[in-house]
Amino acid sequence: LERLRAFHTTVSSLRAFEEAVGESLRARDLEGLLHLSIGGEAVVVGVTSQLEADDLVYSSHRPHGHFLAAGADPRAVAAELAGRETGLCRGRGGSLHLMSDRAVMATGIVGGTLPLAVGHALRQPEGSVVVVFFGDGAVQTGTFHESMNLAALWRVPVLFVCENNGVAEFSTRDEHTTVEKVTDYGHLYGLPASEVDGGDVEAVARTVASLLPAIRNGHGPALLEAHVTRLRPHYEGDWREREEHVDFLVGLEARLVELGASADELATRRAADLEAARSLFRSVLHEDPLPDPADDRSLVFARPLP
Ligand SMILES: Cc1ncc(C[n+]2csc(CCOP(=O)(O)OP(=O)(O)O)c2C)c(N)n1
Ligand SMILES: [Mg+2]
């Protein structure tokens, strides 16, 4: 019960953060292209629950959960989304270009972080791993294949985590590939590949726990294909709303109640997390300064221009 309750606590805080992002965007307090990972939190939480201090995370274009779960300061993430000087990238990057220490970077380039994660993993201390999250659309990029190939050949300590929601923007998987399963590529490149229900946080954690020891021991990379349900449109504000889908969080809470948690306690937590996330954004939007454009040149060039 306690283990599942701890998973629920993290899932609830990630969900609340992104609900507050969506609300702030609709209120026009935030701008730009924002991709939410609502519905995919169990993968993020299950995977990151198995990481150790030296392990690193590379993210995608749905990065908020990856960063928060890897320990980035929620206020600095919120401030980056709001374009404030106090943000992770001093307000210059926004959602698609988050950067921090443990969660190294997000990217708007689909498949873009895959080779970077492999390169970074070559420089990791022995026994630690780099996890890279990407979508099923990224699997059709050249960088996915280059990264899998080289990582397998050189036994690079990377865990490839495909968050497979069955769509790339608006194309379903069968519209852009004849390859049925992402794990098929694991078999092709000769590395361990597992498939998991990405709505089952315990199964994700268990599967990752089974893949990590070999990676840590120098036997090379592994691939995890986690099936997730996208509960929001591709990006916030897109008119192509998703049809109603089952939210894994409902099942997770039902399971917790079965194990002895009280439904009230869970609902209270969810409500408190949402209020805390709303108040975080309110506070950032009211208090945190916008960047001074005069600083921009000093940030773009390694050596400031005279
Ligand atoms: C190299 C590149 N090609 C195309 C795009 C446009 N694009 C943005 S998100 C996206 C879909 C990615 O799908 P997937 O990897 O499955 O992630 P999901 O959005 O489903 O989480 C595409 C094609 C891009 N950003 N970068
Ligand atoms: Mg997808």
Confidence of residue 199 (pLDDT cuts 50, 70, 90): very high
Is 173 a pocket residue for ligand 1 (Cβ < 6 Å)?
no
User: Closest ligand 1 atom to the C-alpha of 134?
Assistant: 15
The whole-number pLDDT of residue 241 equals 65
Residue 20 has pLDDT above 60, yes or no: yes
Percent of the chain with pLDDT over 70: 97
Is 288 a pocket residue for ligand 1 (Cβ < 6 Å)?
no
What are the C-alpha distances in Å from 166 to residues 139, 158, 292, 301? 12, 23, 42, 40
> From ligand 1's centre to the CA of 166, what distance in Å?
12
- Name the residue with the closest Cα to ligand 1, atom 10: 169
The whole-number pLDDT of residue 300 equals 77
Residue 305 has pLDDT above 70, yes or no: no
Is 37 a pocket residue for ligand 1 (Cβ < 6 Å)?
no
Query: Which residues have C-beta under 5 Å from ligand 2, the single-atom ion?
Result: 135-137, 165, 167-168
Is 62 a pocket residue for ligand 1 (Cβ < 6 Å)?
yes
Q: Tell me what the mean pLDDT of segment 296-306 comes to.
A: 71
User: Closest ligand 1 atom to the C-alpha of 139?
Assistant: 15
What are the C-alpha distances in Å from 23 to residues 73, 244, 275, 283, 299? 20, 19, 12, 15, 31
The whole-number pLDDT of residue 238 equals 84
Degrees (nearest 5) of the Cα angle 287, 291, 297?
165
> From ligand 2's centre to the CA of 267, what distance in Å?
30
d(CA 96, CA 192): 30
d(CA 102, CA 73): 11
Tell which residue, 11, 12, 52, 13, has the closest CA to residue 159. 52
d(CA 270, CA 266): 6
Pairing of the two strands 171-172 and 167-168: antiparallel
pLDDT tens-digit map of 151-165: 999 999 999 999 999
Is 110 a pocket residue for ligand 1 (Cβ < 6 Å)?
yes
The whole-number pLDDT of residue 276 equals 98
- Name the residue with the closest Cα to ligand 1, atom 17: 135
The whole-number pLDDT of residue 226 equals 98
Pocket test for ligand 1, best of 110, 134, 139, 165 (most atoms within 8 A of CB): 110
The whole-number pLDDT of residue 167 equals 93
The whole-number pLDDT of residue 245 equals 83
